[in-house]
């Protein structure tokens, strides 16, 4: 894959600072594991990925999207490598984060996409500050996965 694609993706990632104005206290970082992947590492990791996974219609979900480092890169691979229009690329992108400011920052950096406040580990949990729309979409995004997991999980006393 050409270096120029990755240079252009890196430029797009660095167009907006990935730190919001929010206070990222030590306690908050400890509680949420809130460390964002630096641009150079995002680009390096994506160079090992078959770029067909970003082809038109292929959806991408980051279940702990933070400020959107991976989703922003996915968007620009869709646009710059696969020739997609931005609105079509954004229609393929989904992100979830438990912190409202990260959700807002991620959506702002992307310029759209389905970016939701939610708890990926407990999709049916209602969070303070989560909108009814976000809660509803969380149910549809994770319903199938959750029911599959429930089916697989043995009851207490059962042998797995």
Ligand X SMILES: C[S@@+](CC[C@H](N)C(=O)[O-])C[C@H]1O[C@@H](n2cnc3c(N)ncnc32)[C@H](O)[C@@H]1O
Binding site for ligand X (CB under 6 A): 32-37, 62, 64-66, 69-70, 96-99, 102, 119-121
Query: Residue 156 Cβ, how far from ligand X at the closest point, in Å?
Result: 24
> What's the closest the beta carbon of residue 117 comes to ligand X, in angstroms?
9
**By beta-carbon distance, which residue lies closest to ligand X?**
66
Phi then psi for 116, rounded to 5 degrees? Answer: -120, 145
What is the b/e burial string over 67-105, where b = at least 16 CB atoms within 10 angstroms of the residue's CB? bbbbbbbbbbbbbbbbebeeeebbbbbbbbbbbbbbbbb
Contact partners, residue 82, CB within 8 Å, separation at least 6? 51, 54, 55, 56
Give whichever of 72 and 79 is closer to ligand X, judged by the CB atom: 72
Of residues 34 and 134, the one with the C-beta less far from ligand X: 34
* Closest to ligand X by CB, 15 or 156: 15
Query: Measured from the CB atom, is 31 or 85 closer to ligand X?
Result: 31
| Shortest separation between residue 116's beta carbon and ligand X, angstroms | 9
Half-sphere exposure for 131 (CA within 13 Å, toward CB):
9
């Amino acid at each position: 894959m050409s270096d120029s694609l990755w240079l252009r993706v890196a430029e797009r990632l660095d167009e907006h600072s990935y730190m919001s104005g929010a206070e990222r206290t030590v306690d908050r970082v400890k509680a949420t594991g809130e460390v964002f992947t630096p641009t150079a590492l995002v680009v390096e990791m994506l160079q090992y990925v078959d770029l067909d996974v970003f082809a038109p219609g292929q959806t991408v979900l980051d279940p702990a999207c933070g400020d959107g480092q991976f989703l922003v890169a996915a968007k620009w691979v869709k646009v710059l490598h696969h020739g997609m229009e931005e609105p079509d690329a954004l229609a393929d992108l989904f992100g979830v984060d438990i912190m409202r400011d990260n959700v807002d920052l991620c959506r702002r950096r992307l310029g759209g996409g389905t970016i939701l406040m939610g708890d990926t580990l407990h999709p049916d949990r209602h969070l303070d500050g989560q909108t009814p729309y976000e809660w509803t979409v969380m149910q549809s995004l994770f319903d199938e996965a959750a029911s599959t997991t429930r089916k697989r999980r043995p009851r207490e006393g059962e042998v797995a």
